[in-house]
Amino acid sequence: MSIVLYKSRTPRWIIIVADLVIAAAALFCAYILRFDMTADMETVTREWNQLSKSIWIFFLVKFVVFYFLKIHEGLLRYTSTEDVKRIFFALFISSSLFATGGYIRYNFDDELFLFPTSVLIMEFLTSFLFLVGSRFVIKLTYMESIKNLENKVSVVIYGAGVSGLITKKTIEQDTKNNEVVVAFIDDNKKLVGNRIEGMKVYSLEELPLLISNYQVKHCIIAIQEIRPDRQREIANSCIDLGVTVKKVPNARSWTNGSFSVKQITQINIEELLGREVIKLNFEKIQDDFGGKTILVSGSAGSIGAGLCREIASFEPKLLVLLDQAESPLYDIECALREKNSALNYEIVIGDICNEARMQKLFDTFKFDVIFHAAAYKHVPIMELNPAEAVMNNILGTKILADLANKHEVNKFVFISTDKAVNPTNVMGASKRIAEIYTQFLNNSGKTKFITTRFGNVLGSNGSVIPLFAKQIKNGGPITITDKRITRFFMTISEACQLVLEAGTMGNGGEIFVFEMGEPVRILDLAKKMISLSNLEIGKDIDISFIGLRPGEKLYEEVLANDENTLPTHHQKILISKTREINQTTFELINQLILLIDSQKNNDIVALMKKIVPEYISKNSEYEKLDIC
């Protein structure tokens, strides 16, 4: 039957006639089954003589019941469980009426039933089978006729549970989708080798076989609440075999308990690099931050905005968002207002290097806690602008730290970076000097100065992942400085939660180092992002190596050579023990700040190296200062 014919609406009278014909065929089959298909002519004649007197009642009752229960009104190509229920009740009522009529006839007329009881039972079952079966045959034929199979794509579903079965049905029912499910994959050994809804269940180790037999292109992870490490293992196995990985959204995001194929999304690189959910001491965090007035500097940045989102959930008395970037600050304000309607907050536009503006801020609000996340962080840019790095990262920190001390803020949490460890660039050195300054202030007043140090944050502004995503979108090439380069990565949420945890456990003077896991080779990261985009290196996109940028390291560190660590109650947070800071170092920092106006880069960097002896420039014009 053509697609046009299926799409046209069949006249209802045709469906009524067809249903009555099906009912008659079911009655005929019931009689044949009653006599085991061996009835002789005499038996047939006897039964017909009896049936001919009541056959008109059969058609009348069927017609009336079918009509009033409207089993003919549903579109056959969209038959649903509601249609099946309606057919069942129509047949049940019909059979009940026949049984009642037969009882009345037997007892009050000629002692004959309308239909033998065995025939009634078999007719009911056969009619149900024929009526429902015919509708689903039409539905499946229609679905197959309009489904786009010109560019058929074979997919496997990881997870043969309820979510997996729903995913299979969703794909099959989407007529515009050209994906065809060819198999299930599951970790449950009891399911492997069996068939579910006609699909065989395989183990992950058999994926290469499926790729060979069915040319599998996509793997859809349909397991709800899957462990991050297992998801990474599955995704990496698929990526290594050239299979694109997708996932089914969490059931909580389904609309009315169901979802569409459009909601099945490709897994992103952050999910491949993310780790187990962090266990936090929520009661302690609530005690420290709940009901408090909190300032977040750099709140429009990735870490600052993440901190604001996390802090908002602990119901502070007042959350003050400070940044000089107006539009990004507006974006985080909208996000907070949408998710935390009861949050009491203030938006402050200001530069942390503007001492008068910061003084006014501290005079206006009585802060209990400060999270200082404002900083210049791009290594190559700061290498070209040392005076700006010193002004923003060191002077800005000094202004906020001095005001915190003066106004007796309870805690000052400074957000540092792994680039401050054995720095090879101006940016890292400026952050290390800011660490030194806040540590020195710790014993000079009531404020507890705490430093947190971690590596790259996934998806943060200016990080490598958004850059690669943009390059992939533009068709490449992806640019990598060196094929050997590695970096530590952490999600924004993980970093912010660990900052809060460290902020609660800090007694002042500590540098908290976060466990960053294993370093990730940037080349491998790029290859995975290309694969996740369903592209091939060399065919769809190229990778170009451009050489290390000024001040850039091949390998980042979290601890300096002369540092060691102490454990804390949280397995992902360690305390770094650094060298003692003396008054001379403190005075040198003040001298460095006085050099800002001179704009003499060599003098500024030379003094930074004096303050931080381990600062040895790499791939930079300032390498000459290390020789002196």
Q: Is 181 helix (H, G, I), strand (E, B) or coil?
A: strand
Q: What is the pLDDT of residues 292-301, one digit of tens each?
A: 999 999 999 8
> What is the model's pLDDT at position 2?
37
> What is the model's pLDDT at position 298?
93
- Which of 98-102, 403-407, 476-480, 584-588 has the least mean pLDDT? 98-102
Nearest alpha-carbon partner for 181 in 191, 167, 192: 167
427 versus 135: the higher-pLDDT residue is 427
> What is the model's pLDDT at position 1?
36
Asked if pLDDT for residue 195 goes beyond 60, the answer is yes
Does an H or E element contain 63, and which? helix 55-68
Q: How far is the C-alpha of 416 from the C-alpha of 454, rounded, in Å?
A: 7
Mean pLDDT of 132-159: 68
> What is the model's pLDDT at position 365?
95
Q: How far is the C-alpha of 381 from the C-alpha of 388, rounded, in Å?
A: 10
Q: Which two tokens stand for residue 443?
A: 């014993």
> What is the model's pLDDT at position 139?
64
Q: Where are the alpha helices (DSSP H) in 147-196?
A: 162-173
DSSP conformational letter for 217: E
- Please tell me whether the peptide bond between 477 and the residue prior to it is cis, using omega within 30 degrees of 0: yes
| 8 Å CB contact between 129 and 210 | no
Q: How far is the C-alpha of 319 from the C-alpha of 296, rounded, in Å?
A: 8
463 versus 306: the higher-pLDDT residue is 306
Q: Which two tokens stand for residue 94?
A: 């019909």
Please tell me the total number of residues recorded for the chain in this structure.
Answer: 628
DSSP conformational letter for 242: T
Give me the DSSP letters along 267-304: PPHHHHH--SPPP--HHHHHHHHTT-EEEEETTTSHHH
Domain spans in the chain, listed from the N-terminal domain onward: 3-146, 153-267, 282-456+495-516+562-623
Q: How far is the C-alpha of 297 from the C-alpha of 295, rounded, in Å?
A: 6
Mean pLDDT of 197-203: 84
Give me the DSSP letters along 297-324: ETTTSHHHHHHHHHHHTT--SEEEEEES
* CATH architecture designation of domain 282-456+495-516+562-623: 3-Layer(aba) Sandwich (3.40)
Asked if pLDDT for residue 118 goes beyond 60, the answer is yes
Q: How far is the C-alpha of 469 from the C-alpha of 475, rounded, in Å?
A: 10
> What is the model's pLDDT at position 106?
64
> What is the model's pLDDT at position 280?
67
> What is the model's pLDDT at position 416?
92
| 8 Å CB contact between 135 and 79 | yes
| 8 Å CB contact between 383 and 427 | yes
Q: Report how far apart, in Å, the C-alpha atoms of 228 and of each of 67, 272, 392, 483 are.
A: 55, 8, 38, 27
> What is the model's pLDDT at position 443?
83
| 8 Å CB contact between 238 and 265 | no
Q: What is the pLDDT of residues 405-437, one digit of tens each?
A: 999 999 999 999 888 888 999 999 999 999 999
- Which of 42-56, 144-158, 231-245 has the least mean pLDDT? 42-56
91 versus 529: the higher-pLDDT residue is 529
Q: Which percentage of the chain shows pLDDT scores above 90? A: 25
Residues contacting 59, CB < 8 A, separation 6+: 20, 23, 24
| 8 Å CB contact between 196 and 165 | yes
Q: How far is the C-alpha of 88 from the C-alpha of 19, rounded, in Å?
A: 13
Asked if pLDDT for residue 475 goes beyond 60, the answer is yes
Q: Roughly what angle, to the nearest 10 degrees, separates helices 117-146 and 12-34?
A: 130
318 versus 252: the higher-pLDDT residue is 318
Break the chain down into helix, strand, coil percent, rounded to 5.
Answer: 50, 15, 35
Q: Which two tokens stand for residue 80?
A: 């649903």
Q: Which percentage of the chain shows pLDDT scores above 70? A: 78
> What is the model's pLDDT at position 155?
84
Task: Find which of 78-82, 516-520, 589-593 is predicted with most confidence, using mean pLDDT.
Answer: 589-593
Return phi, psi of residue 216, to 5°. Answer: -65, 130
110 versus 568: the higher-pLDDT residue is 568
Give me the DSSP letters along 105-137: HHHHSSS--SS-HHHHHHHHHHHHHHHHHHHHH
Mean pLDDT of 228-234: 81
* 153-267 under CATH 3.40.50.720, yes or no: yes
Give me the DSSP letters along 329-397: HHHHHHHHHHH-TT--EEEEE--TT-HHHHHHHHHH---SEEEE------HHHHHH-HHHHIIIIIIHH
> What is the model's pLDDT at position 352?
96
> What is the model's pLDDT at position 230?
83
Does an H or E element contain 593, and which? helix 583-594
Q: Which two tokens stand for residue 505?
A: 């456990």
Please state, rounded to an integer, the average pLDDT across all residues of the chain: 80
Q: Where are the alpha helices (DSSP H) in 506-582?
A: 522-532
Q: How far is the C-alpha of 17 from the C-alpha of 62, rounded, in Å?
A: 11
Q: What is the pLDDT of residues 554-576, one digit of tens each?
A: 777 655 555 566 777 777 777 77
| 8 Å CB contact between 552 and 619 | yes
Asked if pLDDT for residue 302 goes beyond 70, the answer is yes
Q: Which two tokens stand for residue 192?
A: 């492997």
Asked if pLDDT for residue 7 goes beyond 50, the answer is no
Distance, C-alpha 172 to centroid of its chain: 24
> What is the model's pLDDT at position 238?
84
Task: Find which of 269-278, 346-355, 470-479, 533-542 is predicted with most confidence, using mean pLDDT.
Answer: 346-355
Nearest alpha-carbon partner for 511 in 469, 449, 429, 583: 449
CB atoms within 10 A of CB 590: 10
Q: Edge to edge, what strands does the sheet with 199-202 contain?
A: 195-196, 199-202, 179-185, 153-158, 216-221, 244-247, 265-266
116 versus 340: the higher-pLDDT residue is 340
| 8 Å CB contact between 173 and 136 | no
Mean pLDDT of 166-179: 76
Nearest alpha-carbon partner for 187 in 174, 204, 207: 204
Distance, C-alpha 506 to centroid of its chain: 32
Asked if pLDDT for residue 38 goes beyond 90, the answer is no
